Amino acid sequence: MSAELSPIDKAKFVAARRAADYVEDGMRVGLGTGSTAAWLVRCLGEMVREDGLKFRGVPTSTRTAELAREVGIEVISLEEAKWLDLTIDGADEFDGELNLIKGGGGALLQEKIVATASDQMIVIADAAKEVHALGAFPLPVEVVPFGWTATRALVEETLVSMDVMGRETTLRMNGSQPFVTDEGNFILDLHLDRIGNPRQLAMVLNQMPGVVENGLFIDICDVVVVGHGDGRVELRDINAGTVTEDRLDFVESDNLFSDLGD
């Protein structure tokens, strides 16, 4: 129940609940991956069951697809949708220009494809995800398994000339084995501390052979919905140049709070 939620989970919940209001009947909606996006999927599922909301969702990972089906959302592929009205997803970090680091959950490739195939991208986050400069959260870089050590060496060599504070790279693991994405790739996590020029770094990384995609989302996000533990929600619209604040009351709901395992 909501009374049992931690402040951080309350912040994620109110951000997700507020962002769910952007979804209208007939829309094709990209559904993000991660703990905050999972709250969104639960909220939308409740709106489908209780309010009769009718939309089709395009998940950005297999686990999001499973949760969406579980809560009653109609799931289709991006190929079926062709183009999306809206994508709502979380972020590991965002800055004042609404640039993002994503990919902590390992779904950055599908997330970026879905987000850029949408008329609008809305990011939901708790206030702790806002940073002055990106880079405190390790930057995920998805690489093909073939020759990944050579790709890693090339990345490390390139970082020497980039405006970053740290240059450590690690292969993401799943127990004793490398973490494998839904596309069968590996992820290098770049521990950069601070990224001085995210746009330049994103372009340089994606020019490297072996690199599939990086977790920098530049000029993709349109709105950030920032949740706070006391129920306050802040909406920042980069296109309109507006910042508005709202407050949501917590509503007890067994349907939403019965599964907190993500």
Is pLDDT of 44 > 60?
yes
Is pLDDT of 123 > 90?
yes
Is 41 inside a domain boundary? yes
**Residue range 48-62: average pLDDT?**
97
Q: Does 25 carry a binding-site annotation?
A: no
Check: CB of residue 57 under 8 Å from CB of residue 31: yes
Q: Does 26 carry a binding-site annotation?
A: no
* Domain CATH code at residue 122: 3.40.50.1360
Domain identity same for 106 and 25: yes
Domain identity same for 119 and 245: yes
What is the C-alpha to C-alpha distance for residues 136 and 86, in angstroms, rounded to an integer?
A: 28
Q: Percentage of the chain with pLDDT > 90?
A: 92
Is pLDDT of 249 > 90?
no
What is the C-alpha to C-alpha distance for residues 18 and 47, in angstroms, rounded to an integer?
A: 12
Q: Is the dihedral of CA 41, 13, 253, 246 positive or negative?
A: negative
Domain identity same for 151 and 248: no
Q: Does 30 carry a binding-site annotation?
A: no
**Residue range 200-206: average pLDDT?**
98
What is the C-alpha to C-alpha distance for residues 216 and 14, in angstroms, rounded to an integer?
A: 25
Q: Does 96 carry a binding-site annotation?
A: no
Q: Does 89 carry a binding-site annotation?
A: yes
Is 262 inside a domain boundary? no
Query: Tell me, what amino acid is at 167?
Result: R
Is 19 inside a domain boundary? yes
Domain identity same for 167 and 206: yes
What is the C-alpha to C-alpha distance for residues 166 and 136, in angstroms, rounded to an integer?
A: 10
Q: Which domain holds residue 197?
A: 139-213
Is pLDDT of 110 > 60?
yes
Q: What are phi and psi of 31, to 5 degrees?
A: -110, 120
Is 8 inside a domain boundary? yes
The question of whether 111 is a catalytic residue gets the answer: yes
What pLDDT does 253 receive?
55
What pLDDT does 251 receive?
59
Domain identity same for 73 and 90: yes
Is pLDDT of 1 > 80?
no
Domain identity same for 120 and 199: no
Q: Does 33 carry a binding-site annotation?
A: yes
Domain identity same for 126 and 225: yes
Q: Does 35 carry a binding-site annotation?
A: yes
pLDDT digits (tens, 9 = 90+) for 177-190: 999 999 999 999 99
Is 91 inside a domain boundary? yes
Domain identity same for 197 and 150: yes
Is 204 inside a domain boundary? yes
Banded pLDDT at 261 (limits 50, 70, 90) = very low
Instruction: Tell me what the pLDDT averaged over the chain comes to.
Output: 94
Domain count within the chain: 2
Domain identity same for 99 and 17: yes
Q: Which of 111, 130, 234, 245 is catalytic?
A: 111
Is pLDDT of 255 > 50?
yes
Domain identity same for 236 and 159: no
Domain identity same for 80 and 170: no
Is pLDDT of 256 > 70?
no
What pLDDT does 107 receive?
97
What pLDDT does 12 receive?
96
pTM: predicted TM-score of the whole model, two decimal places: 0.93
pLDDT digits (tens, 9 = 90+) for 74-98: 999 999 999 999 999 999 999 999 9
What is the C-alpha to C-alpha distance for residues 175 and 203, in angstroms, rounded to an integer?
A: 31
Is pLDDT of 176 > 50?
yes
What pLDDT does 262 receive?
40
Q: Does 112 carry a binding-site annotation?
A: no
Q: Does 126 carry a binding-site annotation?
A: no
Is pLDDT of 171 > 50?
yes
pLDDT digits (tens, 9 = 90+) for 124-148: 999 999 999 999 999 999 999 999 9
* Domain CATH code at residue 174: 3.30.70.260
Please report, for residues 35, 41, 104, the alpha-carbon distance to residue 113 in angstroms, rounded to integers and kept in the order given: 20, 19, 16
What pLDDT does 116 receive?
98
Domain identity same for 45 and 147: no
* 121, burial (CB in 10 Å: exposed 0-12, middle 13-18, buried 19+): buried
